[in-house]
Amino acid sequence: MLDPNALQNGPGIRLAFLSEPTVEGLAESLVAFANTDGGTIIVGLDPEGQYVGRVYSDDLEGILREAEQRCHPPVVLGSWEQFQTEEGAVVAIRVPRSLELHALEDGRVLVRTGAENRPLGGDEIRRLASTKTTGDFEAEAVPGATYEDFDPAILDEYFAKREERLRRVFVGDRKALLREIGALNEDGKPTVAGLLLFSKYPQQWLPHSGIVFVRFVGTEPRGEDGMAGYARREEIVGPLARMIESLWELTWGEMAVSAVVRGLEREETYEYPAFAVREALVNAVCHRDYRLRGRRIEVRMYRDRLEVISPGGLPGYITVDNIVAEHFSRNPRLVGSLFHWGYIEELGLGIDRMIEEMVQAGHKPPSFDARPYAFTVTLYNARERAPALMSGDGKILNNRQARAMQYVRDYGSITNREYRTLCPEVSAETVRLDLAEMVERGLLLKIGSKKGTYYILK
């Protein structure tokens, strides 16, 4: 199903416009889309999206078949059909991602880069070929799983979000669409992608698909006393959409916020830009290598940085050097579904905006560390460039501490029990550490002992 808004946005990573059907033009786009993440070729629109005239299916069919034969091996097409625009009819040709490496008759191996088809060099071709030979794990059927293992509530949510994104009510057969997006195979059996997306507890089949969140109090993996340990550790399980939301809420809640009270107005600046954090988290879930058992996504929050570690090296021809300009998904079905779900704003542009948001917020750009079995995105905060304690009423606080400080301003004091009531989502130990930190920084004064302890502004 083609997103009607896609034509207005113009050509891109998964959309090409051809003014007229030529064998060479079609063959190049067929190879590029098949080698990358798949896409749709619109015949009848020029590169600016202007309608150039009606294209007849009978005329196109012979040219398309010849273009297929110019690809080695031939590209297997998905559906193609006439599509009605406001100006007239065009033809939409869907090209699925291929498990094979395709080249043109002259030997060029093309991939889709932005709105263009780009030839790869020798090293890039070898990396892409290596990825192709590892198979398509997300599309494999999972032994023992059935359609009944999909959660009806999660399916309902996905279809509602998809309709909202496409601005079109879905009236077809749900199972047919689930086969189209790769959640079911042709025999109606759930795939790895399907279970990750729609099962209530996919960890039953893929126990390594969960996430571990750890917050350390300093810049090293040490506890409060300098020994090995952490201030908070949480394990997150469930379908991908639920895990993304839980991880986001957890990370956001642990983020520090600079709070300044001027008169009756309270201004807050969060430790990291929201988009940058969310993009790093979603990318880890989308692009991790789910074949690697025994490894889970890890999110490590330190005083000076946030590390998001995803199992599996960079896929295809992607390197740290070209990660901004190029796009290749290890799990295109997961990416496509999460895009329609609304967790991905625009395909292929997340890294660009992550870097932009970090720089605009005054941080240095994210760092990317690619190793054979792990990829790490690190976001650095700006606290090392500012005094540990800000002058006046400005204090560096996390979200919970900011709420506690406001509570003390409103009511004069706060107890451990009252703090836990404000922040029921965290453990008693986390509350204790928060209060101890505010006392150590000189923000609060501890009064009394044991059950009679309370805290006031210092």
Is 4-131 a domain of CATH 3.30.420.40? no
CATH code for the part of the protein at 208-384: 3.30.565.60
Structure tokens at 22: 């030529």
Nearest to 8 by CA among 41, 40, 48, 53: 48
Which residues are 71's β-sheet partners? 104
Which residues 6+ apart lie within 8 Å of 145 measured at CB?
189, 190, 195, 199, 205
Q: Note the pLDDT of residue 457.
A: 83
Which residues 6+ apart lie within 8 Å of 123 measured at CB?
none
Do you know the residue count of the chain?
458
Rounded alpha-carbon distances, angstroms, from residue 298 to 219, 226, 342, 351, 374? 16, 22, 23, 19, 10
Structure tokens at 189: 């059996």
According to CATH, the topology of domain 397-457 is Arc Repressor Mutant, subunit A (1.10.10)
Q: Note the pLDDT of residue 389.
A: 35
Spatial contact of 103 and 109, defined as CB atoms under 8 Å apart: yes
Cα–Cα distance, 333 to 194 (Å, whole number): 9
Cα–Cα distance, 299 to 296 (Å, whole number): 10
**Which stretches of the chain drop beneath a pLDDT of 50?**
383-393
CATH 3.30.950.30 residue ranges of the chain are 4-131
CATH 1.10.10.10 residue ranges of the chain are 397-457
User: How do strand 80-84 and strand 89-95 relate by DSSP bridges?
Assistant: antiparallel
Sign for the pseudo-dihedral over CA of 290, 294, 299, 303 = negative
Q: What is the pTM of this model?
A: 0.75
Buried b (16+ CB within 10 A) or exposed e, 206-224: eeebebebbbbbeeeeeee
Nearest to 396 by CA among 307, 305, 303, 306: 303
CATH 3.30.565.60 residue ranges of the chain are 208-384
Cα–Cα distance, 166 to 369 (Å, whole number): 35
Spatial contact of 283 and 347, defined as CB atoms under 8 Å apart: no
Which residues 6+ apart lie within 8 Å of 298 measured at CB?
211, 212, 213, 214, 307, 308, 309
